[in-house]
Structure 1
Amino acid sequence: MELEDLVRLRRARDRMDRDYAQPLDVPALAAGALMSPGHFSRSFRAAFGETPYSHLMTRRIERAKALLRRGDLSVTEVCFAVGCTSLGSFSSRFTELVGESPSAYRARRHDAAAAIPACIVKVHTRPVRNGEAQLSPSS
């Protein structure tokens, strides 16, 4: 892969990280990277190990977890605040990545994480798709 392509892909990923709550789609991101949508998706996956959609949804679920921990917004409000347009799709994806529904996550106590710096909490609570192998030292 060309260095210029990697730079454009990184910019697209940075845009997803920054503007996760905006309506973003592959054709718009691909146009910004000066690539066709198909080439953009294949190149993004090759460079970062996940599809653009998966990356964006992981970022949205990360932010949703933070908003749900605060407890002052409903699940529906959080869904729309992070840029999702379907409560059903949001709840399904959240459950897939986190292992519990948004309502269950919101309802349980999160006091233990309150004393931990946000940057550390973010690393340890990052959603992981089911099926991703977590290698143990014996693997």
Structure 2
Amino acid sequence: MAEYGRTTFKLCSAPSRYGTITRVTSSPTAAQRLDDLARLRRVRDRIDREYAQPLDVEALARGVHMSAGHLSRQFRLAYGESPYSYLMTRRIERAMALLRRGDLSVTEVCFEVGCSSLGTFSTRFTELVGVPPSVYRRQSVRAAAGMPPCVSKQVTRPIRNREAESPSHA
């Protein structure tokens, strides 16, 4: 076993009918895993801050010196969803707050939260919240009347990972 940088390499030998096959395998050390988690946290914090900006996985990965594929895999392992899914959840949460205010149209809210496609926004909103944004806007104006914003934000938080019940089951 040899250590190079922060990665431990193991020399594995296995007999075969063609002779001994030798290969080198690597596994990250605890220090490397902690470093990756810190970088993932920086990515998540950036998404939380800059959700309305055009963000893509490649740009997020460059910001923490990772490949896009490695970032996506590690982010999913750490947080249970892809960076894009996390970004869209943040955007939908913000959209819900703007729709509850009632002074912006659905299209204006879509662009305000950083979505460039009204169709994608509406589809994702419906997947997470369970109703289309226009219906949510109409319902929430009445439902949130007199409720403090901090309470309505918690009560109306979207459900992640496509878990919203369809209107027919509610």
TM-score, with structure 2 as normaliser: 0.72
Question: Does residue 1:97 correspond to 2:128, yes or no?
Answer: yes
Aligned equivalent of 1:14: 45
Does 2:74 correspond to 1:43? yes
Cα distance in 2 between the residues matched to 1:92 and 1:14: 25
- Does residue 25 of the first structure (1) align with residue 56 of the second (2)? yes
- Name whichever structure is richer in helix by fraction: 1
Q: CA deviation at 1:120?
A: 3.3
Q: Structure 2 unaligned segments of length 5 or more: list them.
A: 1-31, 165-170
Tell me the matched-pair count: 133
- Please report how far the alpha carbon of residue 49 of structure 1 lies from its aligned counterpart in structure 2 after TM superposition: 0.8
Q: Which ranges in structure 1 are unaligned for 5 or more consecutive residues?
A: 134-139
Q: Tell me the amino acid that sits aligned with residue 48 of structure 2.
A: D
Contact 2:43 2:64 in 1 (8 A): yes
Q: Is the 8 A contact 2:127 2:163 kept in 1?
A: no
Q: Which is greater in Rg?
A: 2
Q: Separation in 2 of the partners of 1:66 and 1:107?
A: 13
Q: CA offset at residue 111 of structure 1?
A: 4.5
For 2:107, the equivalent position in structure 1 comes to 76
Distance 1:132 1:76 in 2: 24
Q: Distance in 2 between matches of 1:131 and 1:111?
A: 25
Cα distance in 2 for partners of 1:75, 1:132 equals 22
User: What is the CA-CA distance between 1:83 and the residue it aligns to?
Assistant: 0.2
Displacement of 1:109 in angstroms is: 4.2
Higher strand share: 2
Equivalent AA in structure 1 for residue 155 of structure 2: H
Greater relative CO (CA pairs within 8 A, separation 6+): 1
Q: Which residue of 1 aligns with 2:34?
A: 3
Q: Deviations over 1:55-98 (max 9, x none)?
A: 00000000000000111101000000000000000001111111
Task: Give aligned-pair identity as a percent.
Answer: 70
Indicate the residue corresponding to 2:93 in structure 1: 62
The Cα offsets for residues 22-78 of structure 1, whole Å up to 9 and x where unpaired, read as: 000000001112110000000000011111011000000000000001111010000
Q: CA deviation at 1:119?
A: 3.3
State TM-score, norm by structure 1: 0.87
